Amino acid sequence: SDQFDQKADDIIGKMPHDVLKIISASEVMADFSKVLSTGKRLTKESHIELKGQSVWFLVAMFPLKNELGEITSIATVARNITQLKQAESVLRKLSRAVEQSSASIIITDINGNIEFINKKTSELTGYAPEELIGKNPRIFKSGETLPEEYKKLWQTIKSGGEWRGEFHNKKKNNELFWELASLSALRDENEIITHFLAIKEDITFRKEMEGLLRSALDKAEESNKLKSNLLNNMSHELRTPMNGILGFASILKEEILDPIQKDLLEKLIRSSKRLMSTLNSILDFSMVESNGFELKLKSQSINQAIELVIPIYTEIAKEKDLVLIYNPKVKNAVSSIDERFLTQVLDNLVDNAIKFTNKGEIIITVDSAINDGKKWNLLKVKDTGIGIPEASSKVIFQEFRQVSEGTSRDFEGSGLGLTLAKKITEMMNGDISLESSLGKGSEFTLWLPATEADPGNNLNNIKQTIISSNEIKQFAEQPEGKANVLLVEDQMLNVQVTQLYLKPYCCMEYAVSVDSALKMVKNKVYDAILMDINLGLGMSGTQAAKVIRELPGYSKVPIIACTGYAMIGDREKFLKEGFDGYIAKPFEKDTLIQTLKDLQVGQKKN
């Protein structure tokens, strides 16, 4: 009566359905007549809404009989089984989830014998449940996991911990597959371990992808290395003969008096230089593309970095009767830059400005501006040239693209200059913008984030490459007489060029191999050594320089790398390896003399 909230007095004399409200009157009558006719007990589950909640009962009706076996009354017993029903439903859900799980799930007893597997386990391994139940999971072993690992695994889960790891396991058909497994113990209400549970994910596909990716990465790295090697060799092989061509042509130009021949030589030199500049852009571009170098960024003054090259630009502009004006609006614009590359970018912009301007002026400005709440330093190159049509203003920053293209193009050039300039500028966290008006001129602006000056920076690293004839004369008239220079070079063509270049200023001796060079330096202490790097078989120039450095008297003698390895970053590499100077082939006379002068070759030593 408690369960139905009714008193016993109210219940007696009523029909069960009036009291229980579990079953309808007709159902009760039908059940009663069934009990009466069969004389047997009847049980069923019934369900009602009681105070807004779903309640389940197990209802049993018993026939009560007299001594003659006649049914005299029917006892109805109803038991509340709601909790049982709820637990059953939770269990059903759990078992469905386990069954339908995309992970493979295995439960073993404490001895490791399989008691349960889900569908996924069968699908994955190819074993039917009856083939696995009662077996030990070692049936999956491929033999790749070490016994110590299994030992550790069992220790972990037996002590109540969770073991996670990968298995390379075997299917029924002997095919191997990868699993990422989580193994742990199941405990009863007394915390005693009764079973072990394994939840495993098939990671074969992921493993294969990882393998493919790794080998693709290895291949990419290898081909990148090959590319760098190829570029290095190309650079070397093309520059070395160019040294001879340019060198002899410029020597001849000085010797020859006939104006027509002089003019022809001038053209030869100009063509060679153009070839060199194209080669340089292509090599630099490939180097930048393959991420083969890094900038060395330092907070320093843009003004100071570029002021050194302005006189050179002025000279070049003068050849085309153009005026070059340097007009800094900001006197000390500090940004994080690599000055060598900043000048390379500026070189490109100024080269273009001169190339595409026939009359008027080129103005180089340093300025500053605020954009997006950030302070920027601006380096502007403005010309009064042919201008750039709006439609081409984006295209020209793409590799190999020019305003006038195809066989009818009007200007020479590789179309790489601006691409390189933009890439390098981006590596300095900046950008290049362009304003142009067709027929009136163009203005390229380099945007560089403004930074604070770094007090430790020495700003004047770049040496001016233009030297006056007066300076060369001073160099020649050393008080102690001419300096003794040793050239180590296996190409006779280059030996001759260098000999001609140096004749007025130095006594030059040469060695065509490292072996003979080493013999010579042991007999005499030279004032400087010019060292080719790639000297054929045997020791390289770099190794030779290291050996010479250790010889008596040579600890301070300038050793200069003279090499066709002249790509971005090579100068720094050679200086780091112990050379005092670096000259890229093909080099001009002035560069060679200036390098020797900078290293104070032949000057009075105190």
Enumerate the β-bridge partners of residue 58. 45, 79
CA–CA dist 365, 356 (Å, integer): 19
In sequence order, the 6+-apart residues with CB closer than 8 A to the CB of 199 are: 103, 104, 105, 181, 182
Residue 19 identity (one-letter amino acid): V
Least distance (Å) from ligand ADP to the CB of residue 410? Answer: 9
Least separation in angstroms between CB 560 and ligand ADP: 31
Give pairs for 566-573: CB < 8 Å, separation 24+.
566/235, 566/239, 566/280, 567/231, 567/232, 567/235, 567/283, 567/284, 567/287, 568/283, 568/284, 568/287, 568/288, 568/292, 568/293, 568/341, 569/287, 569/292, 569/293, 569/294, 571/340, 572/296
Nearer to ligand ADP, 405 or 515 (CB): 405
Q: Which is nearer to ligand ADP, 300 or 419 (CB)?
A: 419
Task: Of 280, 277, 271, 288, give the one whose Cα is nearest residue 234.
Answer: 280
Report which residue type is found at 495: V
Q: What angle do CA 152, 157, 161 make, to 5 degrees?
A: 105
Question: Nearer Cβ to ligand ADP, position 38 or 398?
Answer: 398
What is the torsion angle, in degrees rounded to the nearest 10, for the CA atoms of residue 528, residue 565, residue 285 and residue 241? 100
**Among residues 247 and 387, whose Cβ is nearest to ligand ADP?**
387
- Residue with Cβ nearer ligand ADP (417 or 586): 417
Q: Shortest Cβ distance from residue 336 to ligand ADP (Å)?
A: 25
CB of 275 to ligand ADP, least distance (A): 13
List the beta bridge partners of residue 56: 47
Shortest CB 452 distance to ligand ADP, Å = 33
Q: Rounded to whole angstroms, how far apart are CA atoms 252 and 42?
A: 125
3-class secondary-structure state, position 283: helix
Residue with the two structure tokens 């090599």: 283
Q: Residue 389 CB, nearest distance to ligand ADP (Å)? A: 9
Distance CA 606, CA 598 (A): 16
Determine the Cα–Cα distance for residues 5 and 164; give it in Å rounded to an integer: 55
- Closer by beta carbon to ligand ADP, 380 or else 597: 380
Checking phi first, is residue 244 left (phi over 0); if not, alpha (psi -120 to 50) or beta? Answer: alpha
Q: How far is the CB of 249 from ligand ADP (least distance, A)?
A: 23
**Which of 334, 388 has the CB closer to ligand ADP?**
388
Residues sharing a CB contact under 8 Å with residue 583, sequence separation 6 or more, in sequence order: 530, 560, 561, 562, 563, 591, 592, 595
Provide the minimum distance between the beta carbon of 420 and ligand ADP in the complex, in angstroms, as a whole number: 8
Radius of gyration of the chain (CA): 45
Q: Which of 343, 402 has the CB closer to ligand ADP?
A: 402
Task: Determine contact, residues 580/555, Cβ cutoff 8 Å.
Answer: no
| Rounded least distance, CB 350 to ligand ADP, Å | 9
Residue where the block lists tokens 């067709």 = 438
Closest to ligand ADP by CB, 59 or 568: 568
CA atoms of 309 and 358, how far apart (whole Å): 22
Distance in Å, CB of 267 to ligand ADP, minimum? 20
Indicate the residue among 56 and 356 with the shorter CB distance to ligand ADP. 356
Nearer to ligand ADP, 349 or 559 (CB): 349
Q: Least CB distance from residue 333 to ligand ADP, whole Å?
A: 22
CA distance 63 to 33: 11
By CB under 6 A, name the binding residues for ligand ADP.
348, 352-353, 356, 383, 385-386, 388, 396, 402-403, 411, 413-419, 442
Min dist CB 418 to ligand ADP, Å, is 3
Judge whether 579 and 562 are in contact, CB under 8 Å: no
By C-beta, is 169 or 442 nearer to ligand ADP?
Answer: 442
Count Cα neighbours of 124 within 13 Å in the Cβ-side half-sphere.
25
What is the C-alpha to C-alpha distance for residues 407 and 227, in angstroms, rounded to an integer? 30
* Smallest distance from ligand ADP to CB 341, Å: 16
Q: Where are the beta strands (DSSP E) in 372-423?
A: 374-383
Q: CB 376 → ligand ADP: shortest distance, Å?
A: 21
Cβ closer to ligand ADP: 63 or 413?
Answer: 413
Which H or E run includes 443? strand 441-449
Backbone angles phi, psi at 79, to 5 degrees: -115, 130
Nearer to ligand ADP, 265 or 353 (CB): 353
